[in-house]
A = this chain, B = another copy of it.
Amino acid sequence: MTALIGIDWGTTSFRAWRMGQGGEVLETVSDGPGILAAGALAGGFRQALTDTIGGYLGTAPVIASGMITSRNGWVETPYLPLPLDAAALAGSLTLHEGVHFVTGAVSDPDGPAPDVMRGEETEIIGHLAGGGTGGLFVLPGTHSKWARAQGGKLVAFRTVMTGEVFGALRDHTILGRLMQPGPGSEDAFRRGVESGRQGGALLGRIFSARTLALMDRLAPDQIADYLSGLLIGDEVAQGARNAGGSVTIIGRGDLAARYQSAFEVLGMAAQIAPPGMAQRGLWEIARMRGLA
């Protein structure tokens, strides 16, 4: 019997889970349309739901988190201030067209560098629900999030644009000019991370991706991995400064492994969280609200 349907709905991704009485996953849909694609459907977001989990709509409450509550999503909801926990998120659900939307979080709204997230807060809540009350969390991606939890609450976070900047540098600057596609080189990646140790401005260090290639000291099919290492290495070195406590990477596949590798090169240890943190967070928030 279906107790809850949870959706992690991002700009270019859609993952839904049908959960049973104990929060266990009965079925997963991972190939639904992201917000950009769903918004372009004739029937919009409602049609996207019908197309993906239509057979179960009406059988259980639906809860969704992610960029779906942003300006370009289905319904724009305000951000919750820090510190926040599952109870705060449960108390701020927005019910819209039959879906309970989890809202995002804002950090330092009146300070010099305000920051926002939508979706990652639910993944962190999912991790905290499994035990552990604090530590540093890294959620790698186009816009990576670095978050800190304490006493079971999310207390601080910062967005780092590493993934998107890497793409812009590769595709639209001189650094991409000599690049050739390759099988992926862990060595070149680690060499890039090491370059982060040299100090000096990041916008200076990245130029070595060109000079090393010009001098035949970096193969054309390794330049991209080297540059990726340089950027992720800088992100990790700066983000883990004064880390203390445990470090948990919430992410999947190669990217999570690369972040773990960068921590290792820089002499630190980081765990990769088991998969399913978003689903678990959605369950936890729904349970707190009495939906499941």
Does A162 sit within 8 A of B, measured CB to CB? yes
Known A201-B235, A203-B235, A207-B161: A171·B172 in contact at CB below 8 Å = yes
CA of A205 to CA of B162 in the docked complex: distance in angstroms?
A: 11
Shortest CB–CB separation between residue A254 and chain B, in angstroms?
20
Please state if A208 and B112 are interface contacts (CB–CB under 8 Å). yes
Tell me the complex Cα distance, A186–B214, Å: 38
Please determine whether B231 and A203 come into contact, CB atoms closer than 8 angstroms.
yes
Interface mask (A194-215 → B, CB under 8 Å = 1, otherwise 0)? 1100101111111110011011
Residues on B with beta carbons closer than 8 Å to the beta carbon of A211: 113-116, 159
A218-239 contact mask (Cβ, 8 Å, vs B): 1 or 0: 0000000000000100110011
Answer whether residue A40 sits at the interface, using C-beta atoms and an 8 A cutoff.
no
With a cutoff of 8 Å between Cβ atoms, the chain B residues found around residue A205 in the complex are: 113
A173 beta carbon closer than 8 Å to chain B: yes
Chain B CB within 8 A of A169 CB: yes
Inside 8 A of A187's CB, which chain B residues have their CB?
Answer: none
Option from B116, B195, B212, B234 in Cβ contact (under 8 Å) with A203? B234
Interface footprint category on A: 35 or more
Question: Contact residues of A with B, CB < 8 Å?
Answer: 109, 112-116, 143, 146, 158-162, 164-165, 167-169, 171-175, 194-195, 198, 200-208, 211-212, 214-215, 217, 231, 234-235, 238-239
Given contacts A113-B198, A116-B211, contact A203 B172 (CB under 8 A): no
- A112: chain B residues at CB < 8 Å are 194-195, 198, 208
Residues of chain B with a CB closer than 8 A to A215's CB: 109, 114
Residue of A202, A217, A235 with highest tally of chain B CB at under 10 A: A202
Q: How far is the CA of A201 from the CA of B146 in the complex (A)?
A: 11
Shortest beta-carbon distance, A278 to chain B, in Å?
A: 22
Known: A201-B234, A202-B202, A207-B160. A214 touches B165 (CB 8 A): no
CB of A66, distance to nearest CB on chain B (Å): 16
> Which of chain B's residues has its CB closest to A161's CB?
B203
Which residues from B are CB-within-8-Å of A217? 114
- Assess whether B114 is in contact with A238, with CB atoms less than 8 Å apart: no
Q: Tell me if A195 and B113 are in contact (CB < 8 A).
A: yes
Contact of A173 among B165, B195, B238 (CB under 8 A): B165
What is the minimal beta-carbon distance from A267 to any residue of chain B, in angstroms? Answer: 17
- Residues on B with beta carbons closer than 8 Å to the beta carbon of A202: 201-203, 234
Report the minimum CB–CB distance from A279 to chain B (whole Å).
27
